[in-house]
Amino acid sequence: MLGEVEQLWDWIAVVKYPSRKVMLEMILNPDYLESEKHRSAGLEGQLNIETKDF
């Protein structure tokens, strides 16, 4: 997943999900979608990078 960011960030968060399926179920959940608009509105920019766990 990639988001957009205009400047370099000051903070980072690292999140590990049990699987891609679980992450997809979360981001498609209607309750998540409702709350996500408030999270996005409170951020100047975001960059989401999916990586493999080695």
* Tens-place pLDDT, residues 1-54: 555 656 666 777 888 889 889 989 998 999 989 988 887 777 766 777 777 766
Give me the number of domains the chain comprises: 1
What the block records as the tokens of 35 is 């709350």
Whole-number pLDDT of residue 21: 92
Using an 8 Å Cβ cutoff, are 3 and 46 in contact? yes
HSE-up (13 A, CA, CB side) for residue 37: 5
Collapsing DSSP to helix, strand or coil, 43 comes out as coil
For residue 37, give its domain range.
1-54
